[in-house]
Amino acid sequence: MKTAERIYQLLLRLYPSDFRHRYGRAMSDFHADRLATARAGGESISLLWVRTVLDVCASALAEHLRSIFTEEAVVQTIVQDVGYAVRGLLRRPGFTAIVVGTIALGVGANAAIFSVVNVILLTPLPYPHAGQVVSFGHAPPQWLTSEPNFVDYHRELKRFDGLAAYTRNEVTLTTGDESERLRLVRASDDFFPLLGVRPLLGRTFAAGEFVEDPPQVVMLSYGLWQRRFGGERGIVGKSVWIGGIPRTVVGVMPPHFDFPEARTDIWSPLPHFRPDSLNGRGSNYLFMVGRLRTGITPDGALVEANELAKRIVRDFPNVYDPNRPLIPVIARVGDRLVGGTRPYLVALVGAVGFVLLIACANVANLLLVRGESRHKEMALRSALGASRFRLLSQLFTESSLLALASGALGLLLAWAGDRALLALAPPSIPRLDLIGIDWHVVAFTAVVALGTGVSIGIAPAWRTSHGNAADALKDGGRIVASTSGARGLRRVLVVAEVAFAVVTLAGAGVLLRSLWNLQSADLGYDPRSALTAKVSLPAREYSDARSAVFFDQLVHRLRATPGVIAVGASGWLPVVDAGGLWGFEPEGKPFPPGRGPSAVPQHATPGYFAALGLRVVAGREFNDADRDGAQSVAIVSERFAETTWPGERAIGHRFKLGGPSPWLTVVGVVRDIRSRGFADTPEPTMYFPYAQTAASMGSTPRSMAVILRVTGDPMSLMTNLRNAVRGLDRNVPLSEVRTLEQVVGTSVSNRRFNTGLLATFALLALLLAGIGTYGVISYGVSQRSYEIGVRIALGAETRSVLRLVMSEGVVLCAIGLVVGLAASVGVGRALTAMLVGVRAFDIPTMGATSLLLAMVAIAASVVPARRALRVSPVEAMRG
């Protein structure tokens, strides 16, 4: 009996306390009677207990719901709370604006960065099975694949559902009078099927179209179709002039499809390789893309590819050096695309997260202060019978309202931020065109805003609801110094904000230093005051000799232009299209085939070195005498000279390229250049006079980069350049006109952009933390004006009052600084991969951060301190 009663007592605890107090006793009597009767009547006791438990659960739930819904109808409560909160917030427009603005900054920054992360990291690539699509290449020095190797891979690799080869070229599209350089991808037959993308219009290539050489058909990108053909649907089946021959458009790809690289304009078939005419195994010029079988990982595919590559190396000893084997590299296309951007995005997410945390701490502080001045109001309401739940729900309603308003404003800021981002972002960031505010971003913002609302509400709600009503009502009209608990909480919040700001600043600092280190690296040439453009001759009309004449004339014409100091042209521009390595053979130092030294080749006209600002350290520049038929000459870089003829004078030595190349006499040595940008290490480079390249290199490029070194603004000479080209041949297109600085900038543009963003957020964090510190100190002064007044009345010196006020801010900031510096060591480690010439814990950066923070701390304390000095003892004590 006793046990049964105890169990029932426990069950009764499920009821709301008022119900239990009122009916608990009667109910247990009821239950006891019921049990006794049941026993007497032989009823099933276990069934009785089941009924009892069900009954208690159901009625307890009903009672709980009732106490929420009927006594204070929930909707009515909410309406009341919202109305109350809105009126309260509108009565203090300044307070409301500061709070909403602060959170909106934090939420907006997060939403903007999320909209970027959403597209770049979270949205799958625009083709089916994107996770199974991999790029397949080789470790250096091969990088790419040769025709025979591709045929072997394609035939033997069983872990691929499809494997395609492609090349990337440029061609000239001619419509009417206009010529434009386009990016062309020539792709083998598996290419479109394995990507699984349907064309927007027309079809992809048919089997028979991979036999014709040159191919007769092309597919257009959506962008090109819109830009050059006005989105005309009838384009399919029509002919366009590409590379001097008419080709039939068979299809248009959908928007956003730009495989393999952003801004691919056209695709054409890569004809089948005929086994009898395969290029050499050592001639690597094919990119590969494949789709893995379901369930196969890139690592799994790599095992199989490695086996085959080892066999190829073994089977062709005359091509491959066993010490420099063929090493396949397989990576998901998506990972490759975002690879370089990912760490920056993660860092940015961290930075905006910190900004939001700081904003939250600031607002929580403001609400705490406000809660304190409302302490009496709350105490009064509590004394009049408002439940704690009721008071809390009202406080949370207020903070949620603030958060919602901030969320809406934050979304607006994010939209504006996205526009600014898109305007400033370098095109090398993948899939920029997709970035915008979609429902993902809106949902994210809503969640962040609501989370913010709850978190900023917690501290003040806790403080308020734990207040002692009687105490609060007792202390008459004067506001005395706030309770030590609230003050402690506010100080903790300030220390936390300062620490977060320090971490963000330190992170941005080491990245800024890295950027600085990179940009101050000596490129070997002078990117300032130079204009560049690409000039492409139609291959069908220009022979090697005619091409040489054209560029000779162009250089001479431009040289006569006022404002031009030097003019030259070269096969490639540094950074944007530096070429691969070519093997060469120094005279008197024979190497087995395929194992000789290699260097980057460059075609150059007379004037090139002067135009690029590349200094000739020994010998001479190319001149007009270095033409076809004269002695074959070359100029080499310092590194080339040192590695080939160590300790000797390079001038006068001879070397030759593979094949039927004549012996080339070195006539000059120039400085090394970083041909791939700031992060590159200089490679040995060899230069050949353009007019001799038909003989020395076996081919003469039709497309050359012209470089003009000028006195004034480089872009002002654009028209002169255009006219000079047109004056020679109206049909020759001029493309990619930009300054050399812009060209060079592309190698660090991603980093510069991301670092700039990070630095912006770090400053925002610092600003918010400063405002937070100011708020706390300033409030402290207003609270202590009575005490300060007494001190002044008692003859306290200015200095001691100042010390009283300033020490608090300085101490709080100092603690935050120490905590932040300790934490930033960890953050620095996480950034290690992005650092250049800076250690994770960089003393100058930490020093600068500390200095900056000290300045902010002092600034945040000085204003309130000055106010403290103006406290009039009489006024303060009168209250």
Partner 1 sequence: MPRLRAPNRDPEALLPLKPIELLVVTMLSAGERHGYGLRQDIVAHTNGRIALEAGNLYRHIRKLQSEGLVDETEPRLLSDDSDERRIYYRLLPFGRRVLAAEVQRLRALMRIAEANHVIAPLRPAPARA
Binding interface with partner 1 (CB under 8 A): 15, 19, 22-23, 25-27, 29-31, 33-34, 37, 51-52, 55-56, 58-60, 62-63
Cα 271 off chain centre by: 38
Strand, coil or helix: 594: coil
Residues 6+ apart with CB under 8 A from 743: 527, 532, 573, 574, 575, 576
Residue 686's φ and ψ, nearest 5 degrees, are -125, 140
Spatial CB neighbours of 626, under 8 Å, sequence gap ≥ 6:
606, 633, 689, 691, 692
Q: How far is the CB of 42 from partner 1 (least distance, A)?
A: 15
If the CB atoms of residues 58 and 78 are measured against partner 1, the closer one turns out to be 58
- The residue (of 19 and 655) whose beta carbon lies closer to partner 1 is 19
- Nearest distance, CB of residue 19 and partner 1, angstroms: 7
Shortest distance (Å) from residue 33 CB to partner 1: 4
> Could you give the CA distance from residue 362 to residue 452 in angstroms, rounded to a whole number?
12
CB of 35 to partner 1, least distance (A): 10
Nearest alpha carbon to residue 707 among 724, 693, 721? 721
Q: At what angle do helices 342-373 and 375-383 cross, to 10 degrees?
A: 60
Task: Please list the residues that pair with 601 across neighbouring strands.
Answer: 686
Q: Which is nearer to partner 1, 37 or 169 (CB)?
A: 37
How far is it, in rounded angstroms, from Cα 313 to Cα 320? 6
Specify the residue for token string 């690289």: 261
Q: Which is nearer to partner 1, 26 or 874 (CB)?
A: 26
Whichever of 26 and 122 has its CB closer to partner 1, that residue is: 26
Q: 586 has which bridge partners?
A: 655
Q: By the 8 A CB rule, do 610 and 638 touch?
A: no
State the minimum distance, in angstroms, from the CB of residue 75 to partner 1. 22
Q: Which is nearer to partner 1, 36 or 625 (CB)?
A: 36
Task: Tell me how far, at minimum, the Cβ of 823 lies from partner 1, in Å.
Answer: 55
3-state secondary structure of 478: coil
> Which CB sits closer to partner 1, 30 or 591?
30
Nearer to partner 1, 22 or 263 (CB): 22
Of the two residues 29 and 232, which places its CB atom closer to partner 1 in the complex? 29
Measure the CA–CA gap between 80 and 809, rounded to whole angstroms.
40
- Minimum CB–partner distance for residue 41 and partner 1 (Å): 12
Closest to partner 1 by CB, 15 vs 205, is 15
One-letter identity of residue 392: L
Cα 240 from Cα 45, distance rounded (Å): 92
Q: Tell me the closest approach of the beta carbon of residue 51 to partner 1, in angstroms.
A: 6
DSSP 630-666: S--EEEEEHHHHHHHSTTS--TT-EEEESTTPPPEEE
Q: Cβ closer to partner 1: 59 or 643? A: 59
Q: What are the b/e assignments for 205-219, b being 16+ CB within 10 Å?
A: beeebbeeeebebbb
Q: Are 731 and 178 in contact (CB under 8 A)?
A: no
Residues 426/750, Cβ–Cβ less than 8 Å: yes
Residue 30 CB, shortest distance to partner 1, in Å, is 4
CA dist., res. 391 & res. 131, Å (int): 52
Taking the complex as a whole, how short is the minimal distance between the CB of residue 44 and partner 1, in angstroms? 13
Sign of CA dihedral 794, 796, 798, 803: negative
DSSP string covering 297-308? -HHHHHHHHHHH
Do you know the residue count of the chain? 879
CB of 409 to partner 1, least distance (A): 47
Among 845, 799, 605, 770, residue whose Cα is nearest residue 704 = 605
> For residue 555, how many other CB atoms are within 10 A of its CB?
24
Angle, to 10 degrees, between the axis of helix 342-373 and the axis of helix 439-465? Answer: 30
- The CB-of-47 to partner 1 minimum distance in angstroms stands at 12
Is the Cβ of residue 27 or residue 817 nearer to partner 1 in the bound state?
27
Give the C-alpha separation, 752 to 514, whole Å.
10
CB of 74 to partner 1, least distance (A): 19
> Quick one: angle between helices 342-373 and 93-117, nearest 10?
160
Closer Cβ to partner 1, 41 or 660, answer by number: 41
Tell me whether residue 58 or residue 74 sits nearer to partner 1 (CB atom).
58
Residues ≥6 apart with Cβ < 8 Å to 507: 347, 350, 351, 758, 762, 824, 827, 828, 831
Q: Rank residues 31 and 738 by Cβ distance to partner 1 and give the closer one.
A: 31
Q: Which is nearer to partner 1, 19 or 153 (CB)?
A: 19
Question: What are the residues whose beta carbons fall under 8 Å from the beta carbon of 440, sequence distance 6 or more?
Answer: 114, 118, 122
Q: What is the distance of C-alpha 256 from the center of its chain?
A: 19
The nearest distance, CB 1 to partner 1, in angstroms, is 12
Residue 53: CB minimum distance to partner 1, A: 10
Residue number with CB closer to partner 1 (28 or 517): 28
CB of 380 to partner 1, least distance (A): 24
Report, in Å, the least distance between residue 64 CB and partner 1.
12
CA-CA-CA-CA dihedral for 467, 468, 474, 477, to nearest 10? 10
Please state the closest distance from residue 812 (CB atom) to partner 1, in A: 53
In sequence order, the 6+-apart residues with CB closer than 8 A to the CB of 421 are: 112, 116, 435, 757
- Closer CB to partner 1, residue 56 or residue 379? 56
Instruction: Give the contacts of 417 (CB within 8 A, at least 6 positions apart).
Output: 108, 109, 111, 112
